[in-house]
């Protein structure tokens, strides 16, 4: 089965370079210089991953992804952007990104990150349902509900929550989470975990009234 990656990059030379390197690795690519026709392709094609620039003509890349997430589109996304301030990177994650690389970038690192995400997202989920307090995770359909209300999580967020629930009463350090959720690739850093945890908290407890996840300073995270 082919793996199809959509690339949205307004610099045509860079777009062609990324397509060339991905196709050399056996991926099928569909390239765009803006977001104009991306939604139609996502409806028509089976897409496994998106690589998204942010500084685009028309819709800004992360705003476009945020709108897709609101519609329930959960295809994993790697941002590839010149926006490199910490606040901008966090903004990208909060708007539905699974990973973030800043320009200029290393092509080999991009390929490592692509493969890391695909290992997580293309595996076959286990059967069954796991629960914690009023949270239910359906492992077969990868659906999450809280008090019966569906919650839209990315695949990364789902895997992160599943790992926390599977290890109740245990403090999981960042290295453990990087190994078990991100696949242990060295390209990820502690801050990756921090940002993902904060994004997950925002989605499952937006008004901060339930406090599902506790940060144990200097150690890691656990469920309350």
The pLDDT value recorded for residue 189 is 66
**Tell me, what's the pLDDT at 192?**
86
Nearest to residue 52, comparing CAs of 90, 85, 82? 82
Q: Is 148 left (phi over 0), alpha (psi -120 to 50) or beta?
A: left
**What's the whole-number mean pLDDT along residues 74-102?**
95
Full-model pTM = 0.57
Which domains, from first to last, does the chain contain? 4-121 (3.40.50.2300), 129-223 (1.10.10.10)
State pLDDT tens for residues 28-37.
999 999 999 9
Average per-residue pLDDT in the chain? 89
pLDDT tens, 166-209?
Answer: 888 789 998 889 888 887 665 666 688 889 999 999 999 999 99
Residue found under tokens 């996502």:
42
Whether the Cβ atoms of residue 130 and residue 162 lie closer than 8 Å to each other:
yes
């Amino acid at each position: 089965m082919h793996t199809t990656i959509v690339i949205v990059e307004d610099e045509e030379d860079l777009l062609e370079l990324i397509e060339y390197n991905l196709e050399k690795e056996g991926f099928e690519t569909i390239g765009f210089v803006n977001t104009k026709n991306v939604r139609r392709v996502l409806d028509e094609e089976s897409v496994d991953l998106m690589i998204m620039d942010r500084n685009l003509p028309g819709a800004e890349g992360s705003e476009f992804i945020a709108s897709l997430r609101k519609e329930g589109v959960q295809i994993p996304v790697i941002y590839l952007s010149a926006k490199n301030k910490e606040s901008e990177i966090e903004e990208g994650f909060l708007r539905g990104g699974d990973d973030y690389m800043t320009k200029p970038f290393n092509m080999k690192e991009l390929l490592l990150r692509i493969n890391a995400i695909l290992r997580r997202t293309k595996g076959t989920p286990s059967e069954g349902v796991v629960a914690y307090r009023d949270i239910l995770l359906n492992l077969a359909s990868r659906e999450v509900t809280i008090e019966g209300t569906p919650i839209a999580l990315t695949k990364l967020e789902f895997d992160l929550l599943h790992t926390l629930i599977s290890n109740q009463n245990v403090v999981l350090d960042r290295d453990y989470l990087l190994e078990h959720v991100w696949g242990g690739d060295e390209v990820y850093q502690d801050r990756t975990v921090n940002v993902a945890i904060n994004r997950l908290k925002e989605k499952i407890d937006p008004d901060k009234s339930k406090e599902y996840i506790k940060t144990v300073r200097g150690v890691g995270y656990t469920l309350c």
